[in-house]
Structure 1
């Protein structure tokens, strides 16, 4: 099983991209809000360090300096994505 992890300021837009780029997979965990991209990135790095199966997803460009960030994970139980 593969686990994917990412951060975003727009969970709806991330969900759209995930459905397109990851063949219908959906976000299974959402976490946040984080105050900054740095805080969200630290969470993602912490989670990757704890698991050998986590594959990072590059974040979408920032929407706004003041907007909150969110973390999310996806789970792929059987396909050969990546």
Structure 2
């Protein structure tokens, strides 16, 4: 039980330090931002103009269709 309390205390201190210094000090809070795959925008335009289908688009950028649609949704809502 004491181990858990120690871990909680260490995590709490780390979060306070991150908030105090911000991400510029190299400490980031949360999950890192996702980056779009290479050539995503090029193939997105072709997909939007119905030149290629979603399955082909997904293969070209190396994603599953479900992940591709997540990226598309994120890209369109920026």
Which structure has more relative contact order (CA 8 Å, sep 6+)? It is: 1
Whether TM-score is above 0.5 comes out as no
Task: Please give the range of the TM-score, normalised by the shorter of the 2 chains.
Answer: under 0.3
